A and B are shown apart, each in its own frame.
Chain A
């Protein structure tokens, strides 16, 4: 369970999170939505300890994460932009991460599922954007952790890879894992998400199921409901 209390984060003068309160129960898929620059990535990075809050607390399974690092053993993270050391080969990168984590991994199976075998000996800076994202996905899904955080997982994926991704998410969800996913593809969100967390102007503007959102905004179309949510504010 993730508990976030009164989280504040600003980058010099830019106040990004202004008192975020959020509770995420174990199990299920939570979609974190919001316009560009609303602080989704910042919120995720705060949970990972990559961004350090100015104020507020984050607890993971009742434990304060401040200045901790061990808890990341139980989190998998897919960064929004797949930045990898360009001079490494795909296989070297995967091996390195496995070595660093010293945990059993299912990398071979995932490599096969995403059809990455032909690229294993290629350097990362020679890969196409979508192929990089597949490598990114392999790295994220190859360990068995209870919390999986995906920042824009669909970016650059072709339809087949997208299907594979959805299968993977469904398969891992069945094991009782918790997902935090950000995405701007509403169709994808509608398909996978159990609950929506809507971030606007530095705060949680809405939290609930898609149905609740539709009732609130009197819009049956999800995309329109989200748009209405944003418009209500201004």
Chain B
């Protein structure tokens, strides 16, 4: 698997889009820091961007890479290589190169700014960790969609829809249900609803770490009680791991059963 990972990784690292993605974060980091002059504020702004953008890029890159490497895949399938190694190798190649762009692109400006002496380092690390999780999750989901759809246009359509649902529609539905069922105690429902969307989960995790739960209003207190504790943090991270592993397992399962 590592040989495949290596080839996919280098293939992507050499591509123009990885550089664009890396440079974008680099620029974003510098602009935010030197305009804001405030690490904590920069982290919040970054969070709002990352939480929407990382899933989008993961999804688009994931499907694009899968469809574009069809020839490479076919060539590998006739070689003495396990099927799961071929697909997981490609997946980790894409996910690693995207994560690297994110971590380096944001890490460099923040390190130069003097992150290591500031106490924002934990907030910032959490930001990068959730960003990496989101990359892993959405790239895996994109690979799942692509392997199940021969038709590229359909594959692209479904993955953009998936992103749109997770990033926008889900929140809308969530808010609407909160308003509709105002009279009922919705604490547990809100907690659960957050768990079932990796984007919401990441956002909540970071916001609570930043200690601005007041922004969340009524449910904020409940959330704080839950996410603020060690157990809450542990459960949320486990949930993110689950969100990562589930699509990876389905990808491996699907890869074993497909005709080429």
Cβ contact within 8 Å between B80 and A69: yes
Residue in contact with A83 in the complex, picked from B3, B70, B80, B83, CB distance below 8 Å? B70
Residue in contact with A70 in the complex, picked from B75, B76, B80, B260, CB distance below 8 Å? B80
Cβ contact within 8 Å between A52 and B72: no
**Surface stretch bound by B, among A95-103, A113-121, A161-169, A179-187:** A95-103
Q: How far is it, in angstroms, between the C-alpha of A153 and the C-alpha of B7 when the chains are bound?
A: 28
* Residue count of chain A within 8 Å CB distance of chain B: 26
Cβ contact within 8 Å between B81 and A69: yes
The answer, yes or no, to whether B78 is at the interface (CB within 8 Å) is yes
Given known contacts A72-B79, A72-B80, A79-B78, A51 and B260 CB-to-CB distance under 8 angstroms: yes
What number of A-B contacts does a CB cutoff of 8 Å give?
54
Q: How far is it, in angstroms, between the C-alpha of A49 and the C-alpha of B78 when the chains are bound?
A: 8
Residue of A nearest to B72 (CB): A85
Cβ contact within 8 Å between A97 and B69: no
Please encode chain A, from 78 to 101, with 1 for each CB lying within 8 Å of some chain B CB and 0 for all others: 010001111100000000110111
Contacts of B80 in A (CB 8 A): 69-73, 101
Contacts of B83 in A (CB 8 A): 69
8 Å CB interface, A41-90 against B: 45, 48-52, 67, 69-73, 75, 77, 79, 83-87
Q: How far is it, in angstroms, between the C-alpha of A4 and the C-alpha of B102 when the chains are bound?
A: 51
Interface core residue of A11, A69, A71, A99 (most chain B CB under 10 Å): A69
Given known contacts A83-B71, A85-B69, A100-B3, A11 and B259 CB-to-CB distance under 8 angstroms: yes
Cβ contact within 8 Å between B71 and A50: no
The secondary-structure label for the interface of chain B is helix
The answer, yes or no, to whether B211 is at the interface (CB within 8 Å) is no
Q: How far is it, in angstroms, between the C-alpha of A72 and the C-alpha of B260 when the chains are bound?
A: 16
Residue of A nearest to B3 (CB): A100
The answer, yes or no, to whether B82 is at the interface (CB within 8 Å) is yes
Q: How far is it, in angstroms, between the C-alpha of A83 and the C-alpha of B80 when the chains are bound?
A: 18
How many Å from the CB of A10 to the closest CB on chain B? 10
Given known contacts A50-B260, A52-B257, A72 and B7 CB-to-CB distance under 8 angstroms: no
Contacts of A49 in B (CB 8 A): 77
Q: How far is it, in angstroms, between the C-alpha of A72 and the C-alpha of B86 when the chains are bound?
A: 14
The answer, yes or no, to whether B74 is at the interface (CB within 8 Å) is yes
Interface core residue of B3, B71, B81 (most chain A CB under 10 Å): B71
8 Å CB interface, B63-111 against A: 69-72, 74-83
Contacts of B257 in A (CB 8 A): 52
How many Å from the CB of B66 to the closest CB on chain A? 13
Question: When A and B form their complex, which 8 residue pairs have the shortest distance between CB atoms, in order from nearest?
Answer: A72-B80, A83-B71, A73-B80, A77-B78, A85-B72, A50-B260, A51-B259, A69-B82
Residues of B within 8 A of A (CB): 3, 7, 11, 69-72, 74-83, 256-260
Known: A50-B259, A69-B80. 5 other contacts (CB 8 A): A51-B259, A52-B259, A69-B81, A72-B78, A85-B75
